[in-house]
Amino acid sequence: MHLAEISKRALHFFESRDHTVVPSAPLIADDPTLLLINAGMAPFKRYFLGEATAPFPRATSVQKCVRTVDIEEVGKTSRHGSFFQMFGNFSFGDYFKERAIPLAWEFMTTPTTDGGLGLAEDRLWVTVYQDDPEAEHIWRKLVGVPASRIQRLGMADNFWSMGVPGPCGPCSEICYDRGPEFGQDGGPAANDERYLEIWNLVFMQNTRGEGPAKEGYPILGGLPARNIDTGFGVERMAALLQDVPTIFDIDTTRQILALAAELSGTTYGKSVNTDVSLRVVADHILASTMLIGDGVTPANEGRGYVLRRILRRAVRMMRLLGTDDPVVGELFTKTIDVMGSTYAELIEDRARIHSLGEAEEGAFAKTLKAGTAIFDVAASKAAESRILPGDKAFQLHDTYGFPIDLTVEMAADAGLSVDREGFALRMQEQRARAKADARRRKSGGRGDIDVYRELLAAAPTEFTGYTELESQARVQGVIRDGERVSSASAGEIVEVVLDRTPLYAEGGGQESDAGRITADDVELEVLDVEKIDRKLWVHRVRVVAGEIAEGRNVVARVDSEWRTGARQAHSATHIVHAALRQILGPTALQSGSLNRPGYLRLDFAWQRPLSSETLSEIEEVANRAVRQDFPVGIEYMPLPHARELGALALFGETYDEDVRVVEIGGDWSRELCGGTHVERTAQVGALTFIGESSVGSGLRRLEAHVGLDALRFLASERAMAVKVADLLHVPTAEISDRVSGIIDELRTARKELDTLRAEQRAHLATVLAGHAVTVNGVRVVAEQVAGPSATTELRDLAVQTKAVLEGSPAVVVLAALGSDRPIVVAAVNQQARRLDVAASELVQAAVGALGGRGGGKRDLAQGGGGDARAIPAALESVLAMVARAATQ
């Protein structure tokens, strides 16, 4: 049974049993505690936490997930993958164990001809939490599983929580006996490879306190509503039903793996190491395609780093398998072909996915060269100890993406071992930092979430800001340092929740409104406005005067000048986005934005810098749209209808079933947006670009001023042009020609100067060669020179001096003062190296006297120190070392 068929059957089965089918959410989590969706229940988390009321009592979904905690295990085990799909059926205070358990069993054991999976009942085992007799009773009495195939396990295995205080509850797992060829008998408690977990039922009925993540934490009591979170990994189920040994051998992933084998000229199934590498490639390419498809772009932090790490790891594995040519394009094509029938958006967005992936592969090819150069330097410094330090191995891993296995292999080729313990220590430190960051994210940067939960339950905030700038309101709550208080006095900074507000909360790239909240004797300055669960407006305020108390009637006012500027900037962002796509094509999709009064910033997918001509063309299209005074219309409609109309959605944003569509000039620009906008485009005023830059591989950023700020910027530019023209004594129209002439003159003068310096250096090299002394048959120049002040200049001089001395064993060691600190360079020709004279060892001797550090290769090395007075002693030590080496 194909993977897509398994998903289709599961959704149909539960839909026919009154579950609402919910499409997969994007991998970009609408949750400050998560970088990426990593579990099937994640999109429903706020319903389980009680932060929002679920719009349906029962739901079912197949959710895309990415999990990289066990990335080093991918390919080595039969079931670890970074991308996977989770089928789930959920109950939000509706049914509980007595319904969830029979439903799972029914779907798995119903014959395939009747819409089930057709698994043999006598191959299925069950585990329950050791203190959950209720679940065991249901399995035995309602389902009919023999007691001999039910096992009780402890909290670590069969009790679920999110790892922090909050909802928790016992679990029950269904396991499939794959047979004696997979290990000893005895049930899941004895062997989880043979008895493979294929379904997990979570009975969310308790709340937990502080304590360890897995077990040993206190159970504080019961939840007001009991929930069900249950389901299975679709890939794992497919491997079982297709009777293949691993999730990499199922009908989808195996096609990607086969292409990787073909491109690398390898064969799957003949070598353990090769098989692991091919599995890693298939898994990581699949995960990368899905991440880019959901709007993630490669970056050095956050979810972008997750993508960069796994995509580069796939490319690196292909290099190790023997391919030097680009491979991402072909592998992405295969992945889109394989997954496109389930996720049609991959096909629609094929061009952008390819563009970003291939750009990242090209960037990594350059990084790979840089990392190799870093390794070479580190290896030369480790030549004496024969051990590559753990911190260098970690630097190669963390900065350049070298896996430790690759570093170990390269070190072995250089005759070195790697300090694995030092590497492991730094990895442990990094994981500790990551865990601390995860704990910080889990708090959401706020105090007790129960404060907001109470206010949400009371009533969501009514946002009035689309139609008015001033609203009568009532204070629903005052929050200080995460705790609800009755009042706050002048000078305090607190959070205030109102029942109604015209103040826009930050979102969709638009900064929150500035404004005031007042009463007869109270004045609050609004510092920021945020939304909780997209329904509760939280105003961060400074109490300027009086005392604000819960229940107080107030007036909330938006700063009208601020709102005017914000509307101009937000509408201008839509205009620039449309102009970009008109000039560059449909793949130039917005991937992020920021707009505030007078300024906009727009990030978009593109591989190369925009020329000044292209920028001018985009700017002109945008300003023509402003001059044409297009109407700006707002419509509310179901999300599917908006997509049919071609409305663009911003990657990473989450939308309700009914969405707000902003149209500019009809279909000239049509986007989903919750921001505030002008009524007609002429109200935007002037628009001028102030910058275009790279913000990551395959991602560009445009910045612009809008309205009065644009006019001020242009006036400032004009004043600067006039000043430059006065300095150059030319009209402003001739500035460019005059500056070009000056640059040509400088370039010519620089070439003449370089030629003169080269002649001087050649002459000095000849003079220095004439100072050579013979030490045991080796011509040695060991002198301090006054000319060069940079290491590169000194190195060139040493190499030229060595060239003059060719024909006999020669050593050149030169010292100079560079930026008030001594530098030293050693160059040794081939004849001297045969006498066991090494430049790296000579530099080490010299910098030892200088109190510094150095390194390099046997023919050329360099270093520096801190004590310039020791230069004569350093040069003497070089002569002594040459004398010793040449006599051995």
Whether 570 has a binding-site annotation, put simply, is yes
Query: Domain extents for the chain?
Result: 3-242, 252-366, 382-439, 449-558, 563-717, 764-887
The per-residue pLDDT for range 798-811, each reduced to its tens digit, is 999 999 998 899 99
Question: 697 falls in which pLDDT band (50, 70, 90)?
Answer: low
Residues with Cβ within 8 Å of residue 427, at least 6 apart in sequence: 394, 397
C-beta of residue 416 within 8 angstroms of C-beta of residue 382: yes
% the chain with pLDDT above 70: 95
Query: Domain 3-242 classified CATH 3.30.930.10?
Result: yes
The two three-digit tokens of residue 331, written as one number: 């592998």
The per-residue pLDDT for range 404-435, each reduced to its tens digit, is 766 776 788 678 899 988 888 888 787 666 65
**Cα(488)–Cα(741) distance, integer angstroms:** 66
What is the bridge-based pairing of β-strands 20-21 and 58-66? parallel
pLDDT at 445: 43
pLDDT at 296: 87
Neighbours of 273 (CB within 10 A): 11
The per-residue pLDDT for range 35-92, each reduced to its tens digit, is 888 889 988 888 887 777 889 999 999 999 998 877 778 888 887 899 999 999 999 9
Fold of 449-558: Elongation Factor Tu (Ef-tu); domain 3 (2.40.30)
Whether 397 has a binding-site annotation, put simply, is no
pLDDT at 439 over 60: no
Nearest CA among 697, 671, 717 for reference residue 572:
671
pLDDT at 448 over 70: no
pLDDT at 496 over 70: yes
pLDDT at 887 over 80: no
CATH architecture of the domain with range 563-717:
2-Layer Sandwich (3.30)
Degrees to nearest 5, angle at CA 72 with 68 and 75: 100
**Cα(159)–Cα(139) distance, integer angstroms:** 17
Who has greater pLDDT, 734 or 52?
734
**563-717 and 764-887 have identical folds:** no
In the predicted model, what is the mean pLDDT of residues 454-478? 92
Q: What is the DSSP letter of 24?
A: P
Residue type, 520: D
pLDDT at 734 over 70: yes
CATH entry, 764-887, from 3.40.50.300, 3.90.1150.10, 3.40.50.970, 3.10.310.40: 3.10.310.40
C-beta of residue 33 within 8 angstroms of C-beta of residue 442: yes
User: Measured between alpha carbons, how far apart are the two ends of the chain, in Å?
Assistant: 74
Degrees to nearest 5, angle at CA 758 with 756 and 763: 95
pLDDT at 435: 55
What is the bridge-based pairing of β-strands 417-418 and 387-388? parallel
* Average pLDDT of the chain to the nearest whole number: 89
Alpha carbon 131 to its chain's center: 41
